[in-house]
Amino acid sequence: MSESFIQIEKGLGTAGRVAIVRFDRRAAVNALSPEAMRQLRRAAESFEDDLDTSVVILTGTAKSFCAGADLKDGEGAQRAAGGIGVRRHYQRLGPKMCRAWQEMDQVTIAAIEGHCIGGGVALAVALDFRFCGRSTHFRVPEIELGMNMSWGTIPRMVQLCGPARTKQAVILASDRVSSAEARDWGLVETVCDDGKALDTALAFAERIAIQPPVPVRMTKQTVNRVAGALDDLASHMDADQFTLSSMTDDYREGVAAFLEKRKPSFKGR
């Protein structure tokens, strides 16, 4: 049986309409293994028939919301050793996870402390709101690893930050985006004292939870459809682009450099 990385608490707040989903891989700094992505997707899907919960807060640990893809995970290594079919199968785990969180009827809030990197950013921008601690930083390292940023992340980031800031965050993959920059760019809504992201998110969730649930759900659905009307056109090739980029010499060099803690040397091959 797989180890559980998810804890769900329901019935919170004065109206009992708030839930918290805690993601904690303990020693793995909340990296996204294939199994972690499945569990996060199932956590979102578990609220499908829940008419009693209006707001769901997703949080990580005090040190890391999510450190991105787990490049050392054994199951993930099967992807690199497999053919195109295997690679495409595994590459769809991340998009399915993010889509499950984006499509939840409940309002969703990311309470972020510490690192929020790569796949963690992809997951955070799939939610409705993002609150973070002052020391939190964001980074999108995929290009420096020789791959494209996928999982439908770029359209979501463009909605939040605009085209130029999205290009800056994704192309300048070594750069950390501080909490203050993230707020100025529109990547997060609120920056609070370290260790207070969850408390701040809970207070905000309480304000939403006392509103009439049906029009709240309708409003979320309408806004998401208007804002993301063209997202599928922009991101439907994500998985295949990743599959192609993961077969390049630059991808192998990027991952090797990351594991060896050195700067990569890309050749465009």
pLDDT above 80 (res 153) = yes
Complete DSSP assignment for 76-133: HHHHHHS-HHHHHHHHTHHHHHHHHHHT-SSEEEEEE-BEEETHHHHHHTTSSEEEEE
How far is the CA of 189 from the CAs of 21, 85, 176, 241, 259, in angstroms? 20, 39, 18, 31, 33
Taking alpha carbons only, the member of 58, 146, 54 closest to residue 97 is 58
pTM of the complete model: 0.88
- Domains, the chain, in order of start with CATH, read 6-259 (3.90.226.10)
| pLDDT at residue 81 in the model | 63
| pLDDT at residue 257 in the model | 78
What band does 236 get if pLDDT is binned at 50, 70 and 90?
low
What band does 121 get if pLDDT is binned at 50, 70 and 90?
very high
pLDDT above 70: percentage of residues in the chain: 88
| pLDDT at residue 269 in the model | 81
| pLDDT at residue 82 in the model | 62
Give the least confident one: 13-22, 49-58, 70-79, 95-104. 70-79
Q: In what order do the strands lie in the sheet with 64-66?
A: 64-66, 115-117, 137-139, 177-178
What band does 147 get if pLDDT is binned at 50, 70 and 90?
confident
| pLDDT at residue 246 in the model | 73
pLDDT above 80 (res 239) = no
